[in-house]
Structure 1
Amino acid sequence: MIKHRPLILSSITLYWVLSGCSLQASRSAAAVEQAPESAPTATEVRVQIPARPFPTETLYSLLAAEIAGSRAQYDLALGNYVQQARETRDPQVAERATLIARYLNDYNTALEMAKLWTNAAPHNQDALANASLAHLQLGQLREAFHYSVLLQDEGGEPLFQNIAASAASIDEAARSLLLEDFSRQLARHPEDEQLLVGKGILLQQSGDYPSAMEQVRKTLTLHPRSIPAAILEANLLHQLKRDNEAIAKMASLLEFYPENTSLRQQYARILTHHDLALAQEQFAILSQQQPANGDILLSLGIISLERQDLETARTSFEQLLDRDQHTATANYYLGRMAEARNDMQEAIIHYLQVNNGNDFLSATLQLLDIFVRQEDFLSAEQHMNRVRLRFPDQSEALYVLHSQTLVRHNHVLQAEQVLNEGLSHFPVSTRLLFARAMLNHERQRLTATERDLRQILKLDKDNVAALNSLGYILADRTQRFDEAYELLEKALRLKPDDAAIIDSMGWLHYRTGKYPDALHYLRQAYETAPNAEIGAHLGEVLWAIGDQEEARRIWREALQREPGNKTIHETITRLKADL
């Protein structure tokens, strides 16, 4: 027989605290809580739990959980609490397990424990709030809505607005069902601000801006100073291209609520499309209001850089590094700034520290460009080798980018070496073969060019780029017009609207003296893609048939788009034409 004894925890001192997850679940619908990355502090927290009889094994398991927590062994603490919550069905044990799971971002366990908690204490607002939040964090929005309805019925503050905001990522059918849920609950609570705003957000996400705006007007009639409704209204006005109205309304509201950071952030974001100076001013205010917010500091730095306020930009990015926030992006922009003032050593240091994120590829290419400009080919090779080791699935593309950078700076021999090395690792890579073919084409090496393009077509007989390139080269550089026609005719069948292929076919007709057909194809190509290459060809055909004024007009027009285009300048020089 198991002996029972009272669990004496009425004044037990716990030496760990769930930072960001207090023992009372958040009832705020303003934002979903995010657990901090830092470990819990050692602040004392006294937990009052009514005495009740528990088996000895349960008592020891719970005490072991608290000891594990005090030693930062949170997984062990959670495991013990989950086990005892399942066995005892005790609401307070389930509560503790829920909060630990939330701190550890274990949303599935948090949901299981929150539902156990609500089953044991169906009228407990904290239990209902945690169940709604757990469903929300797992993307189960209608379930989250259900628990928020129960929470509202118990007099708590539900998460309706957060649920609506999270619906941006779901499909239209699921959003329609959620919209029906909101409408039903609004029939019960027609003046509830969260429900009114939430329905407006859902309508906005569905692209029904007029209905969303009508919902906003209704909300503001009932709640004239509703910040969420005002922000939604500003978003809608921005989407409707009525930014001046949005800016005026938000500026007016900020006079009443100067400390409201959500309002000011939206105001600043809209200003970035219209007035960078005022946007920078607003982000500077926000940075003072929320000094620990790295997102705001990053925005301030980027806008300052855009405005050439280099001192503010540099200070903002360096502060991010000091705080270990957005370090990759901050290093990238500091590298750009160093490069702009020709401090290549500092630029290299910063670019090397961009190890992830959206700026990684840009930093990689900037660093490669610096090494190539300095003709430090060994450092360039070592750098790209490191990147390839880190991203092996991108190796082919990285070889191509490396070679293109070398070509851009007229280091064609080194570019060829890079492509040869790439092909030694990826001998059937059509991407690398095509890059080498184009390099050889630029070097007037017809045999090598044709060999690589033919190899591509052996690997992929319908490779349109190879068909078009080889067809054009044979038409332009040889008398093998029948072969060229066969290749280009197939390419056109595969991609009949491709301007480059149409241009090639037009050029082939020009080379075989079929000027009307050439003119037909080249005009079609130029209308589809009026670039300088096609303009050079069209102008030459016009010149050949005696329409020299029209040829000059086409060339001038093309040069306005691409003043430095080599093909068009060579064409004008070769034909001894004057513009």
Structure 2
Amino acid sequence: MKLSVPFATALTACALMIGCAQQGPEPDQDPSTSDSAPDEANTSEGRPSDAKAPAEVAHTRPFSRDTLYALLAAEIAGSRQQFDIALSNYIQQAHETRDPQVAARATHIARFLSAENAVLDAALLWVEVAPEDTEAQLNAALALVRTGRLQEAFELSRRLQEKGEHTLFQNIAASAADSTDTQREQLIDGYRALLERYPEHKELLVGTGLLMQQQGDLEPALTYAERALTHHPDDAAATILKATLLNQMDRSDEALQAIVSALEENPESIRLRLQYARLLTQHDLALAQEQFEVLVQQEPNDPDLRLSLGIVALERGDSDTARENFEALLDRGEHMSTANYYLGQLAETQGRDEEALLYYLQVEPGSDFLQATLNILDIFLERGEIEAANDHMNRLRTRFPDRAADLYLLQARTLMQHGHDQAAEHTLGIALESHPTHSDLRYTRGMLYAEQGRVEAMERDLRELLKYDPQNANALNALGYTLADQTNRYEEALDLIEQALAIEPEEPAILDSMGWVLYKMGRLEEALPYLEEAMAAYPDQEIAAHLGEVLWKLGERERARDVWQQGLDNDPQSELIPATKERLQVTE
């Protein structure tokens, strides 16, 4: 039987453990202690090495027969690819024996399987039973970083720093983007305190800069990046931080120059060139493509670089380069859904609809799936093939039943956009039979009814929605606005819109509705500030039409004309603003 890696070598280690444990400790040894041989940390990337078996070290601490067989069973299970059994046994025995080597082995297996919760459990146990073990501390710190427990990870890194070992300060800071401002401030305080003792420490300087960048304190962050470069002028992380900050501060020329200068000193640096290429995508796509081409030459087997090159080339209109790289990804079996999506997009823009459909149909659930599905629907509906569109969506719902509601919603909205209101209503009706409390489905049908002027049907759907989703601000606002705009039930409309505004006080659409219902009630002076706030936040044609009408009625004729013109500038195809002016008998 062929044993798997890393379990093949581990089976031998387990046999040694069993043999030595059965012999018992030597007379001059303390049976309560056992040596450990930690794996060497990968200090170049700031993370422990890949999961592997601990070194074969004979135990001097006797294990029970049950423990020995549990560990042997774990190794055999691993050799047979039954990794869940192997991990479960090792985690259980690590807690029962509290043996450092068993805890280490459990940590390595869990990391090999990317079982993050198990990694954290085993690593914390490991550092608990071997508190001075450097590798235990490093593994525990990394596990804490990956699970968002950054303050604890910082404390372990601080202990590593005090021993002169490798730290994870930069990793911790980079992982703090999703933390709260208060949590980041606590970390910043800790970093600054350590910098008083280690003022030239690269990871502390870069980490502090990253944390301040996340806080929005760009100038102080830049100071820390420059301090890091003063002491470590060739450090790529500090250079990248400096360039990113300069770009955020609208000093793009300086940002690009910082990267260019660093690349001149270290032209083989993948990290620096990648950052240079990314910055160029915001300023010069042609140069960005050149840099990605260099990166692909340097790392021809890196699928992420090839994907980036394909996307930049597609954006530039270089279809040959884009197709070449996306097809290369398909040949290698990498980023297949994304490559199929972009190849479909490329074929569609070139009028090859059948080819585009073949590519889109191969996009699996993920970031591009819904857009690919939408593109398939667009192709079918633009060709008038409604039945083909329906058949495709039915197949998808059979294949992905857990996404049926979202697929119904996408289908209905696309049908509405293509003017197939009757088919959209039919689709929504079927969808609501199986998903009667799905808010988006019911809201969409309500809006379809509103567009058709079917106020009673719209009200019926939205009031049903509000029974099971009473805090739905969109439904409250839509119902309130429709009652204000198409009936004289103004008090009822005002109550609904006030509820919506209490939930979403800064939403421009709700502010517009509030202004409009107050205008309908004759309270023009009260309506004006709501409409002005809505217009400042989102100057679309409908808000412009409403604000202009209120200003006109208040006698502010020039301001009204200016607002209407602003709305037309933003939406030259507006029909609402000319209709409003005609109704008010406005002459130019």
Summarize the Cα distance change of 1:547–1:197 in structure 2 as closer, same or farther, 3 Å threshold.
closer
* 1:463 maps to amino acid: L
* 1:166 maps to amino acid: S
* 1:320 maps to amino acid: L
CA apart distance, 1:275: 1.3
Summarize the Cα distance change of 1:392–1:88 in structure 2 as closer, same or farther, 3 Å threshold.
closer
Summarize the Cα distance change of 1:99–1:405 in structure 2 as closer, same or farther, 3 Å threshold.
closer
Q: Secondary structure at the match of 2:210?
A: helix
TM-score of the superposition, structure 1-length normalised? 0.77
Summarize the Cα distance change of 1:537–1:406 in structure 2 as closer, same or farther, 3 Å threshold.
same
Q: Distance in 2 between matches of 1:161 and 1:245?
A: 24
Confirm or deny: 8 A CA contact 2:173 2:211 kept in the other structure: yes
Q: Distance in 1 between matches of 2:396 and 2:94?
A: 48
* 1:415 maps to amino acid: A
Given the alignment of the two structures, is residue 413 of structure 1 paired with residue 418 of structure 2, yes or no?
Answer: no
Q: Distance in 2 between matches of 1:191 and 1:439?
A: 64
CA apart distance, 1:229: 1.5
Summarize the Cα distance change of 1:221–1:390 in structure 2 as closer, same or farther, 3 Å threshold.
same
1:108-257 aligned at under 5 Å gives the runs 108-115=117-124, 117-118=126-127, 123-257=132-266
Confirm or deny: 8 A CA contact 1:27 1:126 kept in the other structure: no
* Residue 20 (structure 2) aligns with: 6
Confirm or deny: 8 A CA contact 1:488 1:501 kept in the other structure: no
**For 1:26, which of 24, 31, 41 is the aligned residue?**
41
Q: Indicate the percent of aligned positions where both proteins have the same amino acid.
A: 42
**For 1:469, which of 457, 461, 482 is the aligned residue?**
482
Q: Distance in 1 between matches of 2:144 and 2:550?
A: 68
Q: Distance in 1 between matches of 2:497 and 2:103?
A: 68
CA apart distance, 1:255: 0.9
* 1:179 maps to amino acid: I
Q: Distance in 2 between matches of 1:290 and 1:389?
A: 41
Q: Distance in 2 between matches of 1:234 and 1:180?
A: 24
Flag structure 1 segments of 5+ consecutive residues without an equivalent. Answer: 10-21, 475-482
**For 1:49, which of 43, 57, 77 is the aligned residue?**
57
Confirm or deny: 8 A CA contact 1:271 1:279 kept in the other structure: yes
Q: Distance in 1 between matches of 2:415 and 2:430?
A: 14
CA apart distance, 1:248: 0.2
CA apart distance, 1:307: 0.7
* Residue 16 (structure 1) aligns with: none
Given the alignment of the two structures, is residue 313 of structure 1 paired with residue 322 of structure 2, yes or no?
Answer: yes
Q: Distance in 1 between matches of 2:307 and 2:442?
A: 42
Q: Distance in 1 between matches of 2:109 and 2:574?
A: 64
Q: Distance in 1 between matches of 2:446 and 2:117?
A: 54
Q: Distance in 1 between matches of 2:332 and 2:200?
A: 43
Summarize the Cα distance change of 1:187–1:109 in structure 2 as closer, same or farther, 3 Å threshold.
same
Computing the radius of gyration from Cα coordinates, the structure with the larger value is 1
Q: Secondary structure at the match of 1:6?
A: helix
TM-score of the superposition, structure 2-length normalised? 0.76
Q: Distance in 1 between matches of 2:274 and 2:315?
A: 18
Q: Distance in 1 between matches of 2:128 and 2:511?
A: 64
Confirm or deny: 8 A CA contact 1:23 1:99 kept in the other structure: no
Confirm or deny: 8 A CA contact 2:229 2:235 kept in the other structure: yes
**For 2:293, which of 272, 284, 290 is the aligned residue?**
284
Confirm or deny: 8 A CA contact 2:481 2:517 kept in the other structure: yes
Given the alignment of the two structures, is residue 452 of structure 1 paired with residue 435 of structure 2, yes or no?
Answer: no
Cα RMSD of the aligned pairs, angstroms, is 4.4
1:329-478 aligned at under 5 Å gives the runs 329-388=338-397, 398-425=407-434, 435-436=444-445, 439=448, 449-456=454-461, 458-459=463-464, 460=466, 463-474=476-487
Deviation larger for 176-185 or 216-225 = 176-185
CA apart distance, 1:244: 1.3
Summarize the Cα distance change of 1:332–1:557 in structure 2 as closer, same or farther, 3 Å threshold.
same
1:84-103 aligned at under 5 Å gives the runs 85-86=94-95, 90-103=99-112
Q: Distance in 1 between matches of 2:448 and 2:173?
A: 54
CA apart distance, 1:251: 0.5
Flag structure 2 segments of 5+ consecutive residues without an equivalent. Answer: 1-17, 24-36, 468-474, 502-509
Q: Secondary structure at the match of 1:164?
A: helix
Q: Distance in 1 between matches of 2:548 and 2:252?
A: 45
Deviation larger for 311-320 or 400-409 = 400-409
* 1:468 maps to amino acid: Y
What do residues 99-157 of structure 1 show as CA deviations (whole Å, max 9, x unaligned)? 22221223444445445555665554333322332333333223323333333344432
Q: Distance in 2 between matches of 1:433 and 1:102?
A: 45
CA apart distance, 1:354: 2.5
Confirm or deny: 8 A CA contact 1:261 1:286 kept in the other structure: yes
**For 2:283, which of 262, 274, 286 is the aligned residue?**
274
CA apart distance, 1:281: 1.7
Confirm or deny: 8 A CA contact 2:292 2:308 kept in the other structure: yes
* 1:28 maps to amino acid: T
Summarize the Cα distance change of 1:133–1:467 in structure 2 as closer, same or farther, 3 Å threshold.
closer
CA apart distance, 1:235: 2.0
Summarize the Cα distance change of 1:124–1:391 in structure 2 as closer, same or farther, 3 Å threshold.
same
Summarize the Cα distance change of 1:470–1:265 in structure 2 as closer, same or farther, 3 Å threshold.
same
Confirm or deny: 8 A CA contact 1:28 1:159 kept in the other structure: no
* 2:458 maps to amino acid: L
Confirm or deny: 8 A CA contact 2:40 2:48 kept in the other structure: no
1:31-42 aligned at under 5 Å gives the runs 31-32=46-47
Confirm or deny: 8 A CA contact 1:507 1:537 kept in the other structure: no
Give the paired residue count: 540
Summarize the Cα distance change of 1:378–1:95 in structure 2 as closer, same or farther, 3 Å threshold.
same
Q: Distance in 1 between matches of 2:529 and 2:481?
A: 15
Summarize the Cα distance change of 1:283–1:450 in structure 2 as closer, same or farther, 3 Å threshold.
same
Q: Distance in 1 between matches of 2:117 and 2:462?
A: 52
Summarize the Cα distance change of 1:399–1:86 in structure 2 as closer, same or farther, 3 Å threshold.
closer
Summarize the Cα distance change of 1:314–1:5 in structure 2 as closer, same or farther, 3 Å threshold.
closer
Q: Secondary structure at the match of 1:26?
A: coil
What do residues 249-272 of structure 1 show as CA deviations (whole Å, max 9, x unaligned)? 111001111122222222222221
Q: Distance in 2 between matches of 1:399 and 1:345?
A: 24
CA apart distance, 1:180: 3.0
**For 2:270, which of 241, 261, 283 is the aligned residue?**
261
Deviation larger for 66-75 or 221-230 = 66-75
Q: Distance in 2 between matches of 1:180 and 1:545?
A: 56
Q: Distance in 2 between matches of 1:349 and 1:556?
A: 46
Summarize the Cα distance change of 1:94–1:436 in structure 2 as closer, same or farther, 3 Å threshold.
closer
Q: Distance in 2 between matches of 1:345 and 1:373?
A: 13
* 2:324 maps to amino acid: T
Q: Distance in 1 between matches of 2:282 and 2:496?
A: 43
Confirm or deny: 8 A CA contact 2:484 2:520 kept in the other structure: no
Q: Distance in 1 between matches of 2:443 and 2:73?
A: 65
